[in-house]
Amino acid sequence: MKKSYWIASALTAATLPLSIAQAFAQEAAPAMTPEEKAIGKKIYFERCAGCHGVLRKGATGKNLEPAWSKKDKDGRETSGGTLKLGTDRLQKIIALGTEGGMVNYDDILTKEEINIMARYIQNTPDIPPEFSLKDMNDSWKLIVPVDQRPKKQMSKINLNNIFAVTLRDTGELALIDGDTKEIWQILKTGYAVHISRLSASGRYVYTVGRDGLVTLIDLWFEKPTTVATVKIGSDARSVDTSKFKGFEDKYLVGGSYWPPQYSIMEGDTLKPLKVVSTRGMTVDGEYHPEPRVASIVASHIKPEWVINVKETGMILLVDYSDLNNLKTTTINSAKFLHDGGWDYTKRYFLVAANASNKVAAVDTKTGKLAALVDTKKIPHPGRGANFIHPKYGPVWATGHLGDAVISLISTPTDDPKYAKFKQYNWKVVEELKTPGAGNLFVKTHPKSKHLWTDMPMNPERENAETNLVFDLNDLSKPPVKIDVAKDSGLPVTKALRRAVHQEFNEDGTEVWISLWGGKTDQSAIVVYDDKTLKVKKVITDPKMITPTGKFNVYNTVKDVY
């Protein structure tokens, strides 16, 4: 099957009745040849669907339907659509990006491709097919059965300090030895792996690609080996394992963007067990046909997963102790849920409702919403970052795609030594200024005195290719600006090399940053000494094509950030 879900000749799109607006849009849309439409579908899947949705109804990004209308809270009718903007205006937006966090594509797409995309999004969206439990079973491949795998680790490598690195545009995962900085193994995975997750034991690496392919890699072999694969849909972003005591390595859950659902599998084989739809009503009481599963995390205090449903604004606490009698707690929060992470006690999960400019906090002990915190525009924390603020006590940090600040939110704890900070809980207590918007990740470590932030979605080279480092002992000091592209020693190219996704090593002494270049440009991972902020190593290789996310085994298993 080809990586684009709606290009695949084996799949036939569902046919739905056209509304009047859709019929008008179909008739008024710019003409496209079949070849141009195929190119548009492929680019949209690879570059656009994540933010704008398969059906183009919008989430982190704007609604991109050809024509739409809705009523505001006062009952007034509003309308819009890509047809109103027209081809020329759309070409400029695609080429130059926007201040709201959309990256410029003039150094990624050709002028011809930009023109195709400007016309493609004025045409009625295709509806990709559904994906059932039978479809999952048909796609499931158990390559190495459990009884044929090693009984103990066969290599002498320190598995806790392995980094799983996404090679976005080649559909591969590089496993890099954090001690030697050498590439241990590169394996084929799904296209544009969004995250890597680890089993509770640290033995298994799970990846999920944007094409919905989940890959299970066993680190106990002499060389890491793919032992199973399965597709959970046509488009996906998230997986996590069962981490509660007694359920270690037993289950895996994966969330799909399309179809909107989550799937539960055996943790050591990926055998499909259950599929649950997330279609339904939003927090505003309106039906949504595409409520995608965004981030998923595994609780450390209960046999539960926290599953965030993007478009509905619903947070699901799914009890996996009895799959036949599945118990789910549904918590209203705010649209549109995206990514997030644990506070430092691992009791509260904080998730960005980024189109609502809020962060939702869930108390996983009581199973209730703890707070909805207003923030600046489009919070995007990744997993966020936890540290003890000298004035406000425990805080969790998030950056923003749409504003030039890092927001620090006070989080509660039962520890009596922090009781004096209770008055600040669930408030934004400080905003650290940055040179521009476009942040994707913030990161620190319990042994670090620094907060590292990136700005890869900023259109300016001097921001996109750099990191800011704040001193946690004195946040009033201006941050140190690190030119990651310059430090890599790679030649300057027309296309930006975006410095993205900081990740600490196991002991918190190093920070690894991806320098994400174009598909034909050399990329790199630049490793910094966290104490001195000096370069320790540049990892570059012709096989290191478009590295993005990096996940240290120990920090991922333990949820250290």
Catalytic center residues: 48, 51-52, 102, 338, 380
Largest CA distance in the chain: 68
Residue among 180, 223, 220, 174 nearest 196 (CA): 174
Return the HEC string of 216-266.
EEECCCCCCEEEEEEECCCEEEEEEECCCCCCCCCEEEEEEEECCEEEEEE
Q: Helix, strand, coil: what percent of the chain each, to 5?
A: 20, 35, 45
Q: Write the DSSP string, 470-491.
A: EETT-TTSPPEEEEHHHHHTPP
Q: Which of 305, 302, 300 is nearest to 278 (CA)?
A: 305
Whole-number Å distance between alpha carbons of 291 and 260: 6
Q: What length does the chain have?
A: 561
Residue 405's identity, in one-letter code, is: V
Unique residue bearing structure tokens 């201006």: 478
- End-to-end alpha carbon distance in the chain: 37
Cα separation, 449 vs 142, whole angstroms: 45
DSSP character for 102? P
Q: Hey, is 21 helix, strand or coil?
A: helix
Contact 452, 469 (CB under 8 A): yes
Amino acid making up residue 227: V
Asked whether the beta carbons of 468 and 453 are under 8 A apart, the reply is yes
- Using DSSP, state whether 506 is helix, strand or coil: coil
Rounded to whole angstroms, how far apart are CA atoms 8 and 10?
5
- Hey, which bits of 399-505 come out as E strands? 405-410, 428-433, 442-443, 450-454, 466-471, 480-483, 498-504
Report the C-alpha gap between 513 and 549 in whole angstroms.
9
Triad 291, 358, 73: Cα angle to 5°: 70
CB atoms within 10 A of CB 105: 19
10 Å Cβ neighbour count for 63? 16
Contacts for 103-106: CB closer than 8 Å, 24+ residues apart: 103/438, 103/456, 103/457, 103/459, 104/459, 105/47
Q: Would you tell me how many other CB atoms lie within 10 Å of the CB of residue 154?
A: 14
Rounded Cα distance, 329 and 14, in Å? 32
Residues 27, 422: Cα–Cα separation, whole Å: 59
Alpha carbons 499 and 493: distance in angstroms, whole number: 14
23/343 Cα distance (integer angstroms): 48
Handedness of CA 93, 97, 101, 103 (dihedral sign): positive
